[in-house]
Copies of this chain bind each other. A is one copy, B any other.
Amino acid sequence: MSVITLTTDFGSKDSFVGVMKGVMLKINRESTFVDITHQITPQNVGQAAYVIYSAFSYFPQGAVHLCVVDPGVGSSRSPVVLEAAGHYFVGPDNGIFTKIIRNFEPTAIHEIVNRDFMEPDVSSTFHGRDVFAPAAAWLSRGTVRLEEFGPAVKAPVTLDLPKQVRSAANLIEGSIIYIDGFGNAVTNITRSLLEEVEKNIQADGVEIALHAGVIKSILPNYSMAPDQNTICATIGSWNTLEVFLANGDAAGVFGLAVDDHVEVRYY
């Protein structure tokens, strides 16, 4: 029960992340920390929502996922703990758990109000240290029930994240939701919807249309790219359609960006 992951926009320059781990070790000396990323674009709650959703299930059941992208720190937004899919999540109630809440049935979501589970002095600028880290560490001990943190949250905040739509029998519309560090552009068009469409219609081929041009196939892997200059598509590690350039930076070269429209048309 004591694996704790961390996802923040705190970067690696400052002591923020280290200090949160110190606070947690004081509460649970047996914590095992795994950094998912600290390079969420500052204050980009939506990006964090995707990253957590794509990563959490690779961790052991019972893991605690501490997620702090918190532009409203010190305001009236609530801190929350929630349980879904056998995992625990701790963070601000600002939509960071949108994808978890929409895709899994959380068994409980509770506000953190009980000061027994916070640092003695709660600053107004660093709830990662004073509220969220202690809550995660207490949860990781496995002896605190969610309702002990505070009252149930009836209507957690969710973001209006872009959806994939099957807008015709042979057409899926979606968008780029993430650019990874290699410059690959991850879309929200899932393998399962692609397979559903393929099963439904007898298609001869497929075209992926982006503002940067048209891609003529979905390759089985990166190394099937014909050369290092052709924009290509495959099913990436998020199990969604991904646009790439062999051993290159697709987003940089072709000017791809989050929210770009993507169409997949079978013919």
Flag if B247 contacts A74 (CB, 8 Å): no
Q: Give me the 7 closest cross-chain CB pairs, A-B, nearest first.
A: A74-B221, A124-B221, A75-B223, A126-B237, A22-B59, A18-B36, A22-B58
CB distance from A241 to the nearest CB of B (A): 12
Please give the residue numbers on chain A whose beta carbons come within 8 Å of chain B beta carbons, in ascending order: 3, 5, 7, 10-19, 21-23, 25-26, 29, 32-39, 42-43, 51, 54-55, 58-60, 63, 71-75, 123-126, 129, 180-182, 220-224, 234-237, 239, 242, 247
Distance (whole angstroms) from the CB of A86 to the closest CB of chain B? 12
In the bound complex, how far is the Cα of B33 from the Cα of A261, in angstroms?
Answer: 39
Q: Evaluate whether A125 and B237 lie within 8 angstroms (CB atoms) in the complex, with A5-B18, A5-B22, A11-B181 already known.
A: yes
B34 lies within 8 A of A25 (CB): yes
A17 vs chain B, min Cβ distance (A): 8
Q: How far is the CA of A173 from the CA of B143 in the complex (A)?
A: 48
CA distance A221 to B130 in the complex (A): 14
How many copies of this chain does the complex contain? 3
Q: Are the CB atoms of A180 and B14 closer together than 8 Å?
A: yes
Q: Decide yes or no: A26 and B71 within 8 Å by CB, A11-B181, A15-B54, A35-B18 being known contacts.
A: no
Q: Is B72 a contact partner of A223 (Cβ separation < 8 A)?
A: yes
Q: Which residues of B contact A73 (CB under 8 A)?
A: 221-223
Q: Other than the known A5-B18, A12-B12, A33-B34, what 5 A-B pairs have Cβ atoms closer than 8 Å?
A: A14-B37, A15-B54, A18-B55, A123-B237, A125-B234
Contacts A/B (CB < 8 Å), 15 sampled: A3-B22, A12-B38, A14-B51, A18-B55, A22-B34, A25-B60, A26-B60, A33-B34, A74-B220, A74-B223, A74-B224, A124-B220, A124-B222, A125-B236, A126-B236
CB distance from A218 to the nearest CB of B (A): 11
Cβ of A35 to closest chain B Cβ, rounded Å:
6
Q: Give the CA-CA distance A55 to B221 in the complex, in Å.
A: 32
Select the residue from A26, A75, A124 with max chain B CB neighbours within 10 A.
Answer: A124
